[in-house]
Each structure stands twice: as C-alpha cells, then as structure tokens.
Amino acid sequence: MAGRDGDFKLIRAARLIDGSGAPPIERGAVLLEGGRIRASGPEETVAPPEGARVKEFSYDSHTALPGLIDSHVHLIGIGDGRAGDELTTLPDEVLTLQAARNARAHLYSGVTTVRDCGAKNRTTLELRQAVQMGITVAPRLVLAGRPIAIIGGHLSYFGIQATGPTECVAAVRQLVKENVDFIKITASGGSTRTSVRGRPSFDVDELTAIVNEAHKLGRHAAAHCTDSQSIANAVEAGIDTVIHGRYAEPDGSHKYRPELTERIVERGVFVNPTLHQARERVWQLERKAESEMLSEDEQDLIDQFYQGWESAAAFWGRMKDEGVKLVAGSDASWQHYKLGGTSFQDEITAHVDIGMTPMEAIVSATSDAARSCWIDDEVGSIEPGKKADLLVVEGDPSHDIRALTSVTDVFMDGERVDRGNLV
Amino acid sequence: MAGRLDSFTLIRAGLLIDGRGGPPLERAAVLVRGSSILAVGPEHEIAAPESAHAQTLDFSDRTVMPGMVDCHTHHNGFGDGRAGDDLAALSDETLTLQSARNARASLFTGVTTIRENGPKNATMLRLRDAVRQGVTVGPRMVLCGRPVSIIGGHMSYFGSVVTGPVEGRAMVRQLVKEGADYIKITATGGSTRTSYPLLPSFDVDELTAIAGEARKFGLLTAAHCTSTQGIVNSLDAGVDMIIHCIFREPDGRFDFKDDVADRLAERGAFVNPTLHVLRSRIWAALRNHGEAALTTAARRRMDEDERAFETAIEHTRRLIERGANVITGSDSSWGDYPLGNAVYETECLLMAGMPAMDAVMSVTSKAAKAIGVDETVGSIEPGKEADLIAVEGNPVENLDALWAVTDVMADGRLVERGSQESISATRQLRPASS
C-alpha cells in the first residue's frame, strides 16, 4: 500500500548512502512524501514543510540506503538443489505459491526490487496480478515471464521455444502482449538436460531479431551466456545485459579475450556475474561437514570450487578493472540457493571478494542494478522524486559489507514493511 | 521427521476445555508426544517420562482447548462482497494465492481444520499439495475438489457440471481420483446468476446416485439447500449434511417445516445454518453507506437482509430445540464474510439459543464429527492429533475469548503466526451501530 501525498515521513540515520557511489553522509536524513522521496541530505538540510503531518523514524547507529535490487532471481525456484527440469513438472498453482513465498522472503530481507530471469508459463505474471490485487506482498517486479530458448535449449521447458528470426520476433511480441518488462534469452546451453553446455544456442540473426524487437517495443534484453562465443554473439546482437558471462571455450577451458571485454565496455553492456551461486552450495556443504561426513562427491565439489575460485575471482577483477559494469544478481532460488534470508547480501559480498570496494558493491546492487533493469528513473538511489524504497541496516556497510545482513527496517513505496506479516 | 516421536511437549493450562462437553478443568496439563496427544488431566497427574527431554509451554494464565474446526469455507473468496460469478472469472493462480492467504488467516486465528465447500477447478487441491511440500502453511484441509452442480446451477462456474445419475456417478469418481475428501452438491440454486435459489436443482435420482457413489468410497456428502424442497430431496437421497437449511417456498415465503426438522434430527444429519454470512451483508451495507445515507433501494435490501437473518436465527433456534445437529461452518470468504472470523458464526449459534458449551463443541468436537475427522481432531484426548489453541479468558463464559487466541499448535508444533498487527488486520470489524 503506497503512502499518500501529504503524508510525510522523516527518516534520520547515523549514515546515509545514496547509492550513487558518493561517500556516505554522516547524520543524514530522508524526507518521504507519499510513496516518493522528497528530499535527502545532511540532517540539518532536510525539513518537512511547516505544519505538515510527519511521522519520524530515528536510527541512531544505522545506515539508510536504497532498497536493494536483485537483478537476477528465479521466484518459482525452491532452492533445494532440484534441477530446473524437475521444478518445471510442478503445477503452475504450486509454482505461483512458491513465487509468492520467495517474493515475500526477499522483500523482508531488504530487497525492494527483483528482476525475474525466467519462470514457467504465466506464473510470475500471475503473481504480479495478485500483488496488484493486494493478495500478497512482493518487491517491485521486473519480469521476463518465460525466457526465449531454442528447441531443447536452456529453460526451454518454461514454455517458449523459437527457431529463426520470425519466430523470435513473434515470441517477443507474445511476451510483450502479456506485459513482460524485459526479454530474457538463453544464448547458450545450461543446466537443462537437453541443452548443450558450453555451446551457443541461438545464431546471431536470431539474437539480433529478438533484441531489436524488444528495443522497438521499449524493453531491454538480457542473455544467459556460459561460453565466450555466446557472449560475443549476444554483444554483437546488441544485448543489454550478459548473464553469467565467464569466458569459456567449448572444451571448458578459460581463455581471456581482451577484444571481447573491449566490446562489452564500448557498448555499455552490463554483466551479471552470478558469483555466489556455486559458492552457496560449498558453504552449505561446509556447514554440513561440521556435523557429518561428506560423501566423496561432495568433498570433490568443494575442492573443485576452491581450485577454480582464485582464477574466477582474478577474471572478474580484471573485467571490473577494464571497465565492465558488473551488476549484482543472485540467481536464487536456482539450484541450492534460496531467496530470502541473507541470500542477496551473500552475492553482494562476493562482489567485494572479487575486488570491489564495499561502496562499489553497493552501487552494483542499487543504482547500477537499476540502470541495467531500465528502472533508474524510479529506483536505485536516494534522490528527490524517486520511489521511497529504502533499507535501514545496523552498522556501516561502506566499511563492512556484511552490515547489509543486519536489516532493521525496509521501506517500500514510502511505507514501512511489516516484516512480521506472515498472513 | 526423525526423532519426533521422542520429542515431548508438556502444556500447562490454567483452564482446559477438552471439547467433549464436560466441565472445564482447572490447572490441567496436556502431554504431547511428537504430533499427537499422549495424556491429559489434572496438572499434578501429567508428566513427561523422566528420561525424556520435554519442552514446557506455560499457558497457566489461559484456557487451552482444541483447535477450531470450521465446517464450511470458501478459501478462493475475498469476503469483499464480490459475487461468486465474478470470483470465478479470476485465474486459477490468483485464486490459489488468495486461498493460501485465507488458509494462513484461518490457521493464525486458531482454526486448525477446515472443510472447503467449493473452489474453482483444482485450486484447493493444489494448495494442499503446496502445504505438503512446505511451500506454505494452512489448517488441515477436508476438500471437495469442486461442488457438483446442474447446468447453470449454483457454483456451476467452478467446473463440475453434471446431468443424470450416470454423469453424477462419473463426477464423484473424477473428484475421488483428484483427491476429494467429501462430495459437495448444490441441491438448490443460490447466488449464482444463472441459478434459482428458491427451486431445487438436481432431481432425487441424481442426488441419490451422487450420494450413493460417495458413500461407496466412504466419503461424506453435504448439500447446499436454500429452499425447502432441496432439503427434502437431499434427505431422501441420504445426504449427510444440509448447508444453509433455509425453509423457504418457491414463492419466497419463509415457512419452517416441523416434519422436515424432525426428519433431520432423527436421521442425525448435520445442519450448517450459515448465519453470519447473512449478517455480514448487513454489516457491509452499514459500513459502506452509513445508515443515514441509504437509498430507498438499499434500505429495502437491508430490510430484506435483516428479515432473512432474523428468520434464519429463529429457524436455527427451532432446529436446535428439535434436536438437530447444528454445527459451526462459517461460509467465509463468501459474500461479505472474510476468513479468519469463524467465531462470528459460533456467536450467531449462541444468539439462536445454543448453550455455551454446545457452541464451543459446535466449532470443535461436533464439527469434527460432522466432517468425519473426529477420530483425529476436535477434542483433547489421548491418541488425537495435537491441534490446540491457547486463548485469554473462558469461551464458555464469554465466547469473545475465541478472538483472543495467543498460540496455535497444529500437529504438535507451535505455529509461527507473525506480527499481531498482521493478524488483527484479518478481523472483520463489527459496525458501530450493531
């Protein structure tokens, strides 16, 4: 329920991070009117109009920052390790209920906007309908509906397979008719059993058709790419965001391609590296190892992860240093990674672990994430006129990124979210 | 869940109402093992085995009683006055999400078992799947799948329309296949725009075929009856519960039939009078208009609603006097009556002269019996599932205690109910002038 015009809220915090990357403002304040931010800055510069009704919130040892934007979620996921091929056998009603549960849990964890990168049939669109009817609460939803895949391609079981530029254009038009916010393409294979890992899926003419149609109809496009060729294809087609994006050859080896990085930077393509997804499984196994013996496979998985982590971190550090805009997106609840709790904070932490400063990581999860989702005119930073989506955490995340996990309050649309509402 | 059988919970109760009708017991205790009740009695007689690790819940300043059983719900509904015809136009996904919300509202307000009386398509079956998979929480659910209707009949928009005894039998088989626990029939028209509330819908041979097929599978039946001939037809067909049970003639006259009431009582059929859903219309009108601003048409409608409510109370009084098995079934979220407010229906039964302890039993043990789950729930007895609630006050002295639920245990586990603010928001407010 959005706040109404004429209803003011004054939020004071020990520290204000506006999401732009500017240094924190000590003793800052944000003035909300209705569902929007009216003013922000040092406490003494922010005052409500005289005689206005104002509700005040004071956070003496806390930081206020923009509500987090998770640019990559799968709301229908269960996050218990089941494969997408299994997930998709559940009925749409059950998947929609799961999406509602995840959406609520993620909102309560401090995420006020999510971009859903692929769901079965109309499930996430149905969730949005229910949110608009007041049946359930959710972060702001930026939805792909169903991803566009090749026959048998990654996520093809969610409902759209297209072949050739004409069918691709038709798929985009169909999705736009259903009022999706962006187009998700699987430009390479993935975990889907019938897809071919490490190889591109669509050809460049198909990708180009999808991206052009999306742009024509005012939507951005994001592509799942798990190998270098598919990244090159997507970039050539004019893609807006590359997802995953680690350079890999068909044989699985990693070869850095400086010219590809240059093109990504030149064209201003965002990259959502989904850093924590694999590590989340490792963290779970490490917790399990505290009380029971791991199987050989499980131990192998941990060992392999750590063998690869350093080079992965070095790769992403280099991408960042060469000017690639990395945006945070968790990829939860895919595989073993559950939405809610501190899941998005764990992804943001991974951005620090590959060499970002805490402030850069916050930007990657707020204003840059908003830019990559084409919603930066509305959210992603604390500035007058933007939606009043705020997060209040204990401590100072610009020094210690883990402070983001100490969530005290979440504001969305100018209203404090009742994080205890389980109805 | 491994090890659950070794987990004991000792519940101390300032007052214990076991739901069976005996006098409340002061300073009592309930011992729960795993998901079920192991022992109940005076506090000093009940203890966990010495070697066992037992958790203690201290409700010594409260009343402990069985979780409530609501025999008549519509979990798809909103309770915001919208017609069923409009409700049915919503997508299955939307209706499932709304059902999940309603299920949580029921559970958090102390209702641990519901019998659902008519959702669209497979929405409630899917919700139950989701609860079993841990996606969401809800009360124990006794489901009809969909109500069985004639072409254009009441709730025919929910998806199960049949003509003739053969199709009737086939539909029962279909619903059983899908996982239905009982069969709901609309034996007269109702609020559905294409139906006739004052006229019967199915013929007796059709009702008999449906009820007989249900009985063959061990399933109970319940029939929606908003006029007298439908009640008579349903009794002829051997239906187990009469819903609404409105004594009304085709010309609209209310006319209580002693002989039909006596048959109901003799047969031991259960009666679910759905009184508060009628009162909810009046409350909604008062809220929406404020009495002064009523138009002539609205005033006339409210007069009719008031007459219908008063008549229903009076007829329920007579049914109770004649020994009919009257139980609590809210009919929410239908019409203007949102789920989470089952107590209002029990309150109406008190208004109709039901003794206070009977009223409590009408929403616990008798309700459980009416819907065929009395072997597992409805009372606090050894062997039953540990579905119970703690309330402030004594509901036998003042039924409003049932609004003051502080804790809900389902299957031996305390339910995480969230903020009080969010639970209070599910309450249907009594209009100031009522």
3-state SS, residue A269:
coil
Band (pLDDT 50/70/90 cuts) for residue B1 is very low
Q: Is the pLDDT of residue B291 over 60?
A: no
CA–CA min distance B225, chain A (Å): 31
What pLDDT is attached to residue B51?
A: 82
Note whether A245 and A313 are within 8 A (CB): no
Q: Do B97 and A421 touch (CB under 8 A)?
A: no
A204-216 vs A228-236: helix crossing angle, rounded to 10: 40
Note whether A102 and A66 are within 8 A (CB): no
- Share of residues in chain A with pLDDT > 70 (%): 99
Q: Is the pLDDT of residue B434 over 70?
A: no
In a 13 Å sphere around the CA of A74, the CA atoms on its Cβ side amount to 28
User: Would you call B427 an interface residue with chain A, using a CB distance cutoff of 8 Å?
Assistant: no
CA angle centred on A420, ends B4 and A115, rounded to 5°: 100
Which residue is closest to B102 within chain A, CA to CA? A423
Q: Is the pLDDT of residue B9 over 80?
A: yes
- The pair of three-digit structure tokens given for residue B316, joined into one six-digit string: 């329920």
Mean pLDDT of chain B: 96
Residues A362-413 have pLDDT tens digits of 999 999 999 999 999 999 999 999 999 999 999 999 999 999 999 999 999 9
Residues 6+ apart with CB under 8 A from B192: B84, B85, B152, B153, B154, B155, B156, B157
What pLDDT is attached to residue B2?
A: 42
Band (pLDDT 50/70/90 cuts) for residue A20 is very high
Note whether B17 and B63 are within 8 A (CB): yes
Best residue in A121, A141, A423 for a mutation probing chain B (most B CBs within 10 Å) = A423
Q: Do B94 and A133 touch (CB under 8 A)?
A: yes
Q: Which of B93, B418, B425 is nearest residue A96 as measured by Cβ atoms?
A: B93
CA–CA min distance B136, chain A (Å): 7
Q: Do B426 and A423 touch (CB under 8 A)?
A: yes
Pairing relationship of beta strands B182-186 and A270-272 according to DSSP bridges = unpaired
In chain A, where the domains are located: 8-66+381-416, 68-341
Pairing relationship of beta strands B270-272 and B25-33 according to DSSP bridges = unpaired
Q: Is the pLDDT of residue B174 over 90?
A: yes
- The pair of three-digit structure tokens given for residue A31, joined into one six-digit string: 């003035």
Q: Which of B92, B129, B418 is nearest residue A421 as measured by Cβ atoms?
A: B418
Chain B CB contacts of A135 under 8 Å are 94, 97-98, 101
- The pair of three-digit structure tokens given for residue A229, joined into one six-digit string: 């060729």
User: Would you call B422 an interface residue with chain A, using a CB distance cutoff of 8 Å?
Assistant: yes
In chain B, where the domains are located: 4-66+379-424, 68-369
List the CATH code of the domain at B4-66+379-424. Answer: 2.30.40.10
3-state SS, residue A355:
coil
Q: How far apart are CA A299 and CA A301, in angstroms?
A: 5
Closest CA to B147 of B187, B107, B114: B187
Task: For domain B68-369, give the fold.
Answer: TIM Barrel (3.20.20)
Chain B CB contacts of A126 under 8 Å are 91, 93-94, 97
Band (pLDDT 50/70/90 cuts) for residue A351 is very high
- Share of residues in chain B with pLDDT > 70 (%): 98
Band (pLDDT 50/70/90 cuts) for residue B3 is low
Which residue is closest to A121 within chain B, CA to CA? B93
**Which CATH code, of 3.10.450.50, 3.40.50.300, 1.10.1040.10, 3.20.20.140, is assigned to A68-341?**
3.20.20.140
Best residue in A97, A101, A333, A417 for a mutation probing chain B (most B CBs within 10 Å) = A97
- Share of residues in chain B with pLDDT > 90 (%): 92
Average pLDDT over residues A231-236: 98
What is the value of ipTM here, to two decimals? Answer: 0.89
The model's pTM: 0.93
Residues A44-82 have pLDDT tens digits of 999 999 999 999 999 999 999 999 999 999 999 999 999
Alpha helices in A110-153, H assignment, sequence order = 123-132
Q: Do B97 and A91 touch (CB under 8 A)?
A: no
Q: Do B130 and A122 touch (CB under 8 A)?
A: no
Helix count (H) and strand count (E) of chain B?
13, 15
Chain A CB contacts of B419 under 8 Å are 418, 420-422
Residue ranges of B 382-421 with Cβ closer than 8 A to chain A = 416-419, 421
User: Would you call B104 an interface residue with chain A, using a CB distance cutoff of 8 Å?
Assistant: yes
Q: How far, in Å, are B73, B91, B398 from residue B96 at the CA level?
A: 14, 9, 35
Q: Is the pLDDT of residue A246 over 50?
A: yes
CA–CA min distance B109, chain A (Å): 10
Chain B CB contacts of A422 under 8 Å are 104, 108, 416-419, 422
What pLDDT is attached to residue A386?
A: 98
Q: Do B418 and A420 touch (CB under 8 A)?
A: yes
Q: Which superfamily does CATH assign the domain made up of A8-66+381-416 to?
A: Urease, subunit C, domain 1 (2.30.40.10)
Residues B146-157 have pLDDT tens digits of 999 999 999 999
Q: Phi-psi bin for B41: left (phi > 0), alpha (psi -120 to 50), beta?
A: left
Residue ranges of B 110-129 with Cβ closer than 8 A to chain A = 122-123, 126-127, 129
